[in-house]
Amino acid sequence: MALPVDHKAHIIDGKAIAQTIRDEIASEVKILVEKYGKAPGLAVVIVGHRKDSQSYVNMKRKACAEVGIKSIDIDLPEEVPEAELIAKVHELNADPEVHGILVQLPLPKHINEEKVLTEISIDKDVDGFHPLNIGKLAMKGRDPLFLPCTPKGCIELLKRSGVIIKGKRAVVVGRSNIVGLPVSLLLLKADATVTVVHSRTPDPENIIREADIVIAAAGQAMMIKGSWLKPGAAVIDVGTNAVDDPSRKSGYRLVGDVDYQEGCKVAGCITPVPGGVGPMTVAMLLKNTLDGAKRVIGQ
């Protein structure tokens, strides 16, 4: 179908949708506190002093405060032994005030990430990366206790924007453990026909062009051009890439994996970067923490 020359995609406002979800969470937290005198607790573990990790963690702590979730902060030095970090995780597993545990990734080189994540109690795995949670996500008719936050946020953006997933062709660009793989499994659970495009896929352009729904999570700045999109497609751009921009004070600006200017002329709806998927990831973390608390409080 040809689009009018002045076609402009509907912009999916991730910030506004995330705020609505945070308001919903805040009122549920209030009910828990009034009824049982207990608030959900989220333990955030950070190892070392990576600037990006620090700013992510601060954002999460601030978001907790806003909705009334108790944030338990664990700051460990860069050189902490793996065994000590695991002991800390066990301590948090046993703490009844803690309903969610988040270990900020990446961890320093001397620590085995998989080993640490597997030690998190499945009932408190608010990041949704425990092998049992991912395994259940991959199986038909099984429900994980928690879904990974960014993929869950992508699906929520589609649903709250009125995009029908059932029976649609969805293409996921990227196959990471954090986004690409779990979001493809979620789309499959929602009855989409799913194709995953990755760095070894020949001719990605033609595959993407057949998609009613595109989830871009490749980490390649503006890789997907407007001409690669099917007119009217729903586009969720997970990419956050810094590109040089001398006109900015910081010297760079953030762009997605989709060429946004071009995409706006072809897509039916599209998320901006920043202000699209990012705010949803944090909102879903809060939602997972609330859900974990609701399973325990009042039982």
Instruction: Provide φ and ψ at 236, rounded to 5°.
Output: -110, 115
Q: Average pLDDT, stretch 21-48?
A: 97
Give yes or no for residue 1 having a pLDDT over 80. no
CATH of 148-278, one of 3.40.50.1820, 3.40.50.2300, 3.40.50.11030, 3.40.50.720: 3.40.50.720
Alpha carbon 274 to chain centroid distance? 14
Q: Classify each residue of 287-297 as buried b or exposed e, where b means 16 or more C-beta atoms within 10 Å of its C-beta.
A: bbbbbbbbeeb
Q: At what angle do helices 51-67 and 277-296 cross, to 10 degrees?
A: 60
**Hey, where are the domains in the chain?**
37-124, 148-278
Give 249's contacts (C-beta < 8 A, 6+ positions apart). Answer: none
Q: What is the pLDDT of residue 70?
A: 98
Give yes or no for residue 252 having a pLDDT over 80. yes
Strand, helix or coil for residue 209: coil
Nearest to 256 by CA among 154, 188, 123, 162: 154
Q: Average pLDDT, stretch 7-29?
A: 97
Using a CB cutoff of 8 Å and minimum separation of 24, what contacts does 4-8 make? 7/231, 7/265, 7/266, 8/264, 8/265
Q: Which of the residues are catalytic?
A: 60, 104, 127
Contact assessment for residue 17 and residue 157, using Cβ atoms and an 8 Å cutoff = yes
pLDDT digits (tens, 9 = 90+) for 90-126: 999 999 999 999 999 889 999 999 999 999 999 999 9
pLDDT band at 276 (very low <50, low <70, confident <90, very high): very high
Q: What stretches of the chain adopt beta strand conformation (E)?
A: 10-11, 41-47, 70-76, 100-103, 169-173, 193-197, 213-216, 234-237, 241-244, 252-255, 269-270
pLDDT digits (tens, 9 = 90+) for 143-188: 999 999 999 999 999 999 999 999 999 999 999 999 999 999 999 9
Give 94's contacts (C-beta < 8 A, 6+ positions apart). Answer: none
Contact assessment for residue 213 and residue 171, using Cβ atoms and an 8 Å cutoff = yes
Label the pairing between strands 252-255 and 241-244. Answer: antiparallel
Label the pairing between strands 41-47 and 252-255. Answer: unpaired
Two domains, one topology: 37-124 and 148-278: yes
pLDDT band at 3 (very low <50, low <70, confident <90, very high): confident
pLDDT digits (tens, 9 = 90+) for 43-89: 999 999 887 778 888 889 999 999 999 999 999 999 999 999 999 99
Q: What is the pLDDT of residue 298?
A: 75
Q: What is the pLDDT of residue 147?
A: 97
* Rounded-to-integer distance, Cα 68 and Cα 181, Å: 32
Give yes or no for residue 34 having a pLDDT over 70. yes
Q: Average pLDDT, stretch 227-252?
A: 95
Q: With respect to CATH, is domain 37-124 assigned 3.40.50.1000? A: no
